[in-house]
Chains A and B, each alone.
Chain A
Amino acid sequence: MNVEKVRGFMKENKIATFTILAYLVVLIYSPSLFLGGLKMTSIYFMEMLEILPAVFIVMGLVEVWVSRDTIMGIFGKGAGLKGRFASVLVGSFSAGPIYAAFPVCYTLLKKGSTVSNIVIILSAWAVVKIPMLIVEAQFMGLPFMFTRYIFTVPAIILIGMITGKVISKEYIVKNSSKEGLLVEKIDQELPGHNCGACGYQSCWETAKKIIDGEEDPSVCVPLDSENKDKIEELVREKHR
C-alpha cells in the first residue's frame, strides 16, 4: 500500500482512523472483547440501515420540492411560538438517534429555519420522540414518563432560545464544513463571468448547486479542465 495514500486517508477520516486503532489495540489485548465490540456494532449498524435511507430520501425530497418560503413560514423568525411547537412536533414524530437529526436540521436551517428552532427539533428528536415515550412508559411506568415529559418540553424550548441567542446563523454557515466555505472555494474556481450558460444567474448560485450535488461541474460551459479538477476535488472534500 502507498504510504502517502494511507496518510491521506488518516487525515481525511480522523474518527475512522481512531476507531480502527482502538479496535486493533483491543484485538491485541483481548480477541473476545474485539469480537464483542463488533457484535454490538452490528446491532447499531442494522438500526442505522433501517432509518437513515428513509430519512435521507425524505430530506432530499424536501430540499427539492419545498420552497424556502414554506420552511421559513413554519420554522422561521416570524413563526414565533407556533414555530416552537411545530419544532417539538417534528422532533416527536421522528425516528432514529440524534445523529440522524443533524442532516435534517441542517437542511431546514439552510431553508430558513431559525437556530433556536433547530435546537428544539434536535432535542425533541433526542428525548421526547413518541416511540421512546412508549418504551419508557412500559419500563419505567406512566408517572415517570409523564413527569419527565412535563419537565423536558419547557426545558428544550429554553435550551433552544438560549442557543439561538448565543449562536448566530452566520456562525453556523461559516463554520459548517458541510457548505459555506466550500461554496466560496468553488466559486473562486469558476470563471466568474456570471454568463448564465449553465442556467443559473450567477457563478455563486452554480457553486451552491454543485456543492448540493444537484449539478455536475460540467454544467459550467467555459470551465477549463484544470479548474474542473479542482472543483471535483472540493466536492469530494465535502463528502469526507
Chain B
Amino acid sequence: MDVTTIGLIVLAVALLIWSTLKSKSKTKKSLKVAGNMFKGIAVEIISILALIGLFLTLVPPETIQMLLGDTSVGVATLISASFGTVTLIPAFVAFPLAASLVDAGAHLVSMAAFITTLTMVGFITAPIEIEYFGKKFTLVRNVLSFAAAILISLGMGLIL
C-alpha cells in the first residue's frame, strides 16, 4: 500500500468518526449513499478488471517490448500510445515496465506517450465513463487526452 492509499483510508475513518459524533442519522445516510454508489458499479469494475487481466496475459509486456524493438521513434510513440490507450495498468507496474523498455532501447519520448495514455485515456474503462457522463463526453475527453499525450511526449522530446 502506498502512502496516499493509507492516507485516504485514515481520512475516511477519521471523517466517519467525526460524522458519527455529530449526527448518527446523517452518518447512516452517507453510508447508505456510499453503499449504493458501490453497488452501482461493482459488477462493471470487476468485469473490466478481469478483462484487463486477460488482455495483459494474452499480450504480455514482452510482446510490447518486441513490437517496439527496432521501429523509429515516431512509430514507437504511436504504438506505445495505442497500447496505453487500450489498457490500464497501475503505476507500480507501469513505471518499472517503462524503465525496462528504456533499458531495452525504447525512446523516452515514446515512454512519455505510453505513461500518459496508459493512465488518462481509457478504452477499456469507457463503458463506466459513458455510464456516468454520456457518450459524447467520453469521446471528447479521451480524444483530447490522446492528442495531449502525443503533444506532451513531443514537447518532452525537445527538452530531454
Contact = CB atoms under 8 A, between A and B. Distances in A.
Contacts of B131: 176-178
Interface stretch (B39-47, B62-70, B71-79): B39-47
Interface of B is mostly: helix
B91 A63 contact: no
B37 A56 contact: yes
B33 A159 contact: no
Interface in A6-54: 13-16, 18-19, 22-23, 26, 33, 36-45, 47-48, 50-54
Given A60-B34, A159-B144, A176-B133, A131 B95 contact: no
B53 A41 contact: yes
Nearest to B125: A99
Nearest to B26: A64
A223 B37 CA distance: 26
Q: How large is the interface on A (under 10, 10 to 19, 20 to 34, 35 or more residues)?
A: 35 or more
B102 to A, nearest CB: 7
Nearest to A56: B34
A163 B142 CA distance: 10
Contacts of B4: 93-95, 129-131
Given A16-B43, A59-B37, A213-B35, A44 B115 contact: no
Interface stretch (A74-82, A150-158, A195-203, A226-234): A150-158
A158 B136 CA distance: 18
Contact of A19 (B35, B36, B41, B51): B51
A55 B152 CA distance: 30
A41 B9 contact: no
Contact of B32 (A136, A155, A214): A214
B119 A126 contact: yes
A166 interface: yes
Contacts of B29: 60, 64, 214
A99 B58 contact: no
Interface string A157-177: 011001100110001101111
Interface string B17-60: 00100000011011111111111110111111111111011100
- Counting chain B CB atoms within 10 Å of each CB, which of A36, A39, A107, A155 scores highest? A155
A187 to B, nearest CB: 19
Contacts of B111: 140
B122 A148 contact: no
17 contacts: A22-B51, A33-B57, A38-B50, A41-B54, A50-B9, A55-B12, A57-B31, A94-B8, A99-B122, A131-B3, A152-B116, A162-B140, A167-B134, A178-B131, A213-B32, A239-B36, A239-B39
Given A93-B4, A140-B98, 18 more contacts: A13-B43, A15-B44, A40-B54, A53-B12, A56-B37, A56-B38, A59-B33, A98-B122, A105-B132, A131-B3, A136-B115, A147-B160, A151-B152, A152-B148, A152-B152, A163-B140, A167-B136, A176-B131
Interface of A: 13-16, 18-19, 22-23, 26, 33, 36-45, 47-48, 50-61, 63-65, 93-99, 102-103, 105-107, 115, 119, 122-123, 126-127, 129-132, 134-136, 138-140, 143-144, 147-148, 151-152, 155-156, 158-159, 162-163, 166-167, 171-172, 174-178, 212-214, 238-240
